[in-house]
Amino acid sequence: MTQTIAVLAGDGIGPEIMAEAVKVLNVLKTSDGLDIALEEGLVGGIAYDVKGHPLPPETLALAKRADAVMLGAVGGAKWEPLDISLRPEKGLLGLRSALNLFANLRPASIYPELADASPLKPEIVSGLDILIVRELTGDIYFGQPRGIRTLENGEKQGFNTMVYSESEIERIAHVGFQSAQKRQKKLCSIDKANVLECTEFWREVVTRVGKQYPDVELTHMYVDNAAMQLVRYPKQFDVIVTTNIFGDILSDLASQLTGSIGMLPSASLDANNKGMYEPIHGSAPDIAGKGIANPLATILSVAMMLRFSLGRADLADKVESAVKKVLAQGFRTRDILGNASTSQYKLVNTQEMGQAV
Ligand code: NAI
Ligand code: MG
């Protein structure tokens, strides 16, 4: 039966990188008989411009109907003056919440071919293979009450609320433990239990769920220490499970261990492995339209989609090995060379990188 993929390119470099991911999917359609139909939809700033809302009802309906969703990136300076409820980022948060995509899997592993692209010393990052499991539909991003209020003395005050219910923590903890079971059987839960009651509760619930997984070694770490440890000695981690906001921040940090945020894919899954797949980076307005964005994070997100939602692990392997091969051949977008001098750039445009894969 034909599976439907919603293709939501979004803003900035979104359409540039998505075009390359679509190219890969189309190749798999013809060469490997992948039975999919791609349906495009508007999300983010472009959706606001055309439809007046960052997540128009027809896009939400498409995402709900589809077997999986591919998303590029949203946002840009043009939409910053808008009320937060109409900003492009709301389109993304709205999709995560409406589709109940509570489990965000963000692998950060280093390609041997890119050992020199990390800002860290090779001995610190070589062989690095971490999976960050970030809770995605709770925490301060969704907690109520929230807003900006005026106090009795006339001073204004901004406020957001960190909230986690027991069931929300339990289900993400299970994803963390089960992911660890498939890997090195080590799970580190990251919180700020020393000062935030909400995450003190997080630690308590994760510990209790852990009793069901005696084969997984569970440790806990405060988020500030985790930030330090990820830079100091990242190879101590196997799977990390953490809250929405800590996961957001730590996964950007982890991306730099591997060389570039342009390399890191993600899967956001519901309880039935229906998912949305996207690079972890944003719309990169600073390089949009220049043809230098790295499409590999998006192409690797295609591989995650094939593995988790479409039941085609074989094709996921194929895409991932194509990426490795292309890197081995020396194809590099500008971001993967970090601080190298201009003369050392093997600068290819997005189209060539995607084409090569
Ligand atoms: P960003 O991730 O867009 O960019 C950060 C830096 O990484 C920039 O220097 C950019 O050029 C570079 N970069 C990102 N992706 C790249 C790629 N594929 N190839 C090469 N270089 C790449 O984060 P920033 O600048 O904080 O946010 C820009 C906009 O994106 C904002 O409007 C923000 O709200 C939005 N955003 C959207 C996200 C999403 O759609 N999932 C996630 C994060 C931010
Ligand atoms: Mg982020």
Distance 100 CA to ligand 2 centre (A): 18
Confidence of residue 202 (pLDDT cuts 50, 70, 90): very high
Residues 30 and 143 in one domain: no
Nearest ligand for residue 250 CA: 2
Containing domain of residue 277, as a range?
A: 1-102+270-357
* 145, burial (CB in 10 Å: exposed 0-12, middle 13-18, buried 19+): exposed
Residues 42 and 96 in one domain: yes
Rounded to an integer, what distance in angstroms lies between the CA atom of residue 354 and that of residue 357? 5
Residues 290 and 260 in one domain: no
Q: What is the ipTM of this complex?
A: 0.98
Dihedral class, residue 311 (left if φ above 0, else alpha if ψ from -120 to 50, else beta): left
Q: Answer whether 275 contacts ligand 1 (Cβ < 6 A).
A: no
Among protein residues, the one with the nearest Cα to ligand 1's atom 11 is: 284
Q: Answer whether 261 contacts ligand 1 (Cβ < 6 A).
A: yes
Q: How many CB atoms lie within 10 A of CB 235?
A: 14
pLDDT tens readout for residues 14-58: 999 999 999 999 999 999 999 999 999 999 999 999 999 999 999
Residues 98 and 109 in one domain: no
Query: Of the residues 265, 286, 309, which one is the last residue of a structural domain?
Result: 265
pTM score over 0.80? yes
Among protein residues, the one with the nearest Cα to ligand 1's atom 20 is: 293
Least confident of 159-163, 178-182, 217-221, 260-264: 260-264
Of the ranges 104-118, 249-263, 276-290, 320-334, the best mean pLDDT one: 276-290
Query: Of the residues 232, 265, 298, which one is the last residue of a structural domain?
Result: 265
Confidence of residue 347 (pLDDT cuts 50, 70, 90): very low
Nearest ligand for residue 277 CA: 1
Residues 283 and 245 in one domain: no
Q: Say what the pLDDT of residue 343 is.
A: 28
Residues 285 and 350 in one domain: yes
Tell me if residue 248 falls in helix, strand or coil: helix
Residues 303 and 184 in one domain: no
Pure H helices in 156-243: 166-181, 197-210, 223-232
Domain count, the chain: 2
**Catalytic site includes residue 35:** no
Residues 259 and 295 in one domain: no
Residues 299 and 321 in one domain: yes
Confidence of residue 350 (pLDDT cuts 50, 70, 90): low
Residues 41 and 165 in one domain: no
- Whether residue 271 contacts residue 279, with contact meaning beta carbons closer than 8 Å, is answered with no
Output the domain CATH number for residue 96. Answer: 3.40.718.10
Q: Answer whether 248 contacts ligand 1 (Cβ < 6 A).
A: no
Query: Of the residues 265, 289, 315, which one is the last residue of a structural domain?
Result: 265
The helix or strand, by DSSP H or E, that contains position 222, with its residue range, turns out to be strand 217-222
